Amino acid sequence: MTWRTAIVTGAASGIGRCFAETLAGQGAAVGLVDVAATALTAMAETLRGRGFAAESRVADVSAADQVEAAVHELVGKLGGLDLLVNCAAILGPGRLAQQPADEFERTIRIDLFGTANVLRAALPALRQSRGAAVCIASTAAVHGWPNMAAYSSAKFGVAGFCDAVRPELARDGVLLTCVFPLLIDTPLLQGADRAPILRQGKPIPPAAVVAKTLAGVRKRRARVFVPETVRLVAAIHGLAPSLLDWYGRRFGM
C-alpha cells in the first residue's frame, strides 16, 4: 500500500517530522501542520529542497476553526487525502496539586480535542479516498503514569475516541489506527524532570515508531503497539493492575 497524499500534524518536530520525512521519501505529497510557524516553514523548505512535494499551514489543533481552514486548504493543494497522521501533542507533566488548572486544560485541549478536531476536518476527504487515519496515543493510555495526570487522561481519551469512532469510519471504508508507543526520543521528553517515570528505560527512535506504524496501517491494523511489549502492559492492566500501581509508586514518584 502506498499513499499519494498525506497530512501530518505536529510536523515541525519530533515524531510528526519523522512521519512527514518518511512519507515524502516514499513518494507522497505531504501537507504539514504545526503551531510553530518558523520551524514549520523550515521543514517544508527542507523537503522541497530534497525534491519532495510539500505544503504547509500553521494551525493550533485545539482551535477547530483553524484546523478546518488548514485541512481544507491542504487537501485542495494536494489534490486529495489518502492518509492522515495525527501527531500534535504536548506532555504537560507535573503533580496534580502543583499543576495550574490552565496548564492541565491546555494539555487536554491539544492532545485530545486537537485529535478530534483534525480527524473531523479530514473526514470528507478520507471518505472520498477511502483512506486511512493514524492517531498517536501512548502507553500512558494503557495505564496512567504518575505525575502525568493531564497527559494520561488525554491519551486515554484518544484511545477511547478511536474505539468509538472506528466503526463509524469503517462504514465508509476508512481505516483508523491507534498507536500505543512507549517513550519516544523526541523533544516532547524535555519535561522529564517533572515526571521521573519518563527517565525509566531507553527512549525509542522515532523512525522505529514510524516504520512499525506504517506497516500496521498497511496490514489494516486497528491498534499498533511499539514495542510489542506494550501489549504485555495492557494485559497486566487488565489482569493485575495493582502491579502497575506498584511500579508507578516505585519508579514514577
Determine which one of 151, 156, 180, 225 is catalytic. Answer: 151
- CA 113, CA 41: separation in Å to the nearest integer? 25
- CA 163, CA 250: separation in Å to the nearest integer? 31
- CA 102, CA 53: separation in Å to the nearest integer? 38
Taking CB atoms within 8 Å and a gap of at least 24, the contacts of 124-127 are 125/71, 125/75, 125/80, 125/81, 126/81, 126/84, 126/169, 126/172, 126/174, 127/172, 127/173, 127/174
Our answer to whether residue 247 is catalytic in this structure is: no
Helix (H) or strand (E) holding 239: helix 230-239
- Active-site residue set: 151
